[in-house]
Amino acid sequence: MPREIVKRIAFILASLVITFHAVESSDAVAGEKGRNVLLLCIDDLRPELACFGKSYIHSPNIDQLASTGRIFRHHYVQAPTCGASRYVMLTGQYGSAGNDALFARAKKINGGSIPASMPEWFRNKGYTTVSVGKVSHHPGGRGGPDWNDQNQIEMPDAWTRHLHPSGAWQHPRGAMHGLAHGEIRANAKEMDLFQSVEGGDEIYPDGLTVEESLRQLDLLADDSEKPFFLAVGILKPHLPFGAPAQYMKPYLSVELPPIPHPDRPKGKTTWHGSGEFMKYNRWGRDPNQDAEFADAVRRHYAACVSYADAQVGRVLDRLDAHGLRDNTVIVLWGDHGWHLGEHAIWGKHALFEESLHSPLIISAKNLPQPGIHSDAIVETRSLFPTLCELTGISKPDQQLGASLNPILQEPTATGGVAISYTGRAQTIRDQQYRLIAHQDGAIELYDHRSEAGETQNVADQHPELVRQLMATLTDRLGGDH
């Protein structure tokens, strides 16, 4: 074959490849229904799942999802508290460290140019966007004393429908910290820290959330024109730890592993006294001084995880019943970690690994090597651009995190660093180290390849490394924190 013809064929093939990728990465072609998104947000869920190596946990539905997707075993949130973490997930932007971050953003929308949130961006691209439960900080996304004021919207323009059924719990604030059969938190000291009550899933608020989510899935499945972005927010295992008794049964006699590094750390750290946990009725017991009580707390947390897992299973089953799995990108995301006695903390709000490390699973059709985990360091901020790429819509013209698609295609691909913060300190995590910088100039540096982990501050031994990590931290956050 003449060389000129060979060259011409090669040129045509290359052009076809370029055209294919351009169409693949652009907004959906007119008249073509795009890929759906199902976002499952679980409150206070640390990686306490069998698919994350916790074999004593009963989590069959999340484990099955993990077997079809990519497990990110080193995913970190940007803040160890619900509102600030969800702000980043929903906007792709670093933000303030407070639970009111989204309400503060809402106040700025009328007064200036604010980048679109992720659900707003998808809505503008032709998606029906629906939120059920706790997706933004307030279940149902409204403010006011009981979180049901229609004039105070947490995420303006984001959702086609933003719902939260409260049932016997009366209002979203009541459901947020509700126990069985409509019990609402008034004085936390009078509300039990944990309970296990006989009954079906509906005796706790998440049962109602999932029932509404199933109704919404039915409606969305009937729409042959528009793709959907459905976000489902599950409250448990948020405090107080209450779940139907059937989910406690697997943990009544299971042997739990020892709590690693259970002592209060020495020196300057972000340790705290577990105030959110300690204010509940604990029957006069302290898990830091009472090993039997510590085990009881851990068992009830595990029961809440299994209850949340069952709710995930109900949603996925309905997705499958409609035959939508192959055309839906599924994300399971924990909004932050949670200490179960590590560093003598019972809760979140610190900048230790346990507060910031949460599960992330992404499942999509034709994912290479499904079920294989990634050990790359990734952060929540990457979800927005990743979902844009997976659904074939354009990304907004604003600064976002790095897409996770290279890791979805190849699980051994490298990640980057993860940035997190509270109002008092900032932290950066790379593959080996965590550095924590306090506002007063104090520095913590921990080596994760050492058995001591985050108990031995080695900052004085590595001044050049501290300087490099601080430079990266400052560059990433700018002067906003």
Residue boundaries of the structural domains of the chain: 33-416, 424-481
Show the tokens assigned to 476. Answer: 């990433």
Q: Residue 288 to residues 234, 292, 375: CA-CA distances in angstroms?
A: 28, 10, 32
- Give the model's pLDDT for residue 19: 31
Helices (H), 147-283: 172-176, 205-221, 245-248, 275-278
Model pTM score: 0.93
95 phi and psi angles, rounded to 5 deg: -145, -160
d(CA 318, CA 337): 28
pLDDT, tens only, 136-158: 999 999 999 999 999 999 999 99
d(CA 437, CA 459): 11
d(CA 91, CA 119): 8
d(CA 266, CA 464): 24
Show the tokens assigned to 140. Answer: 């149902």
Same topology, domains 33-416 and 424-481? Answer is no
> Domain 424-481's class?
alpha beta
- Give the model's pLDDT for residue 186: 94
166 phi and psi angles, rounded to 5 deg: -110, -20
- Give the model's pLDDT for residue 31: 41
Place of tokens 């080193």: 74
pLDDT, tens only, 372-384: 999 999 999 999 9
Helix (H, G, I), strand (E, B) or coil at 185: coil
What fold does the segment set 33-416 form as a domain? Alkaline Phosphatase, subunit A (3.40.720)
DSSP state of 254: P
61 phi and psi angles, rounded to 5 deg: -75, -45
Show the tokens assigned to 41. Answer: 């947000």
- Give the model's pLDDT for residue 12: 33
- Give the model's pLDDT for residue 412: 97
- Give the model's pLDDT for residue 109: 87
- Give the model's pLDDT for residue 23: 31
- Give the model's pLDDT for residue 13: 37
d(CA 265, CA 37): 42
Counting as low any pLDDT under 50, the low residues of the chain are 1-26, 28-31
Q: Which residues contact 113 (CB under 8 A, 6 or more apart)?
A: none
Q: Are 204 and 180 in contact (CB under 8 A)?
A: yes
d(CA 393, CA 29): 10
Q: Which residues, listed in sequence order, are joined to residue 330 by a DSSP beta bridge? A: 38, 363
Please give the sequence-ordered ranges of beta strands (E in DSSP) within 398-462, or none if there are none. 418-421, 425-429, 433-438, 443-447
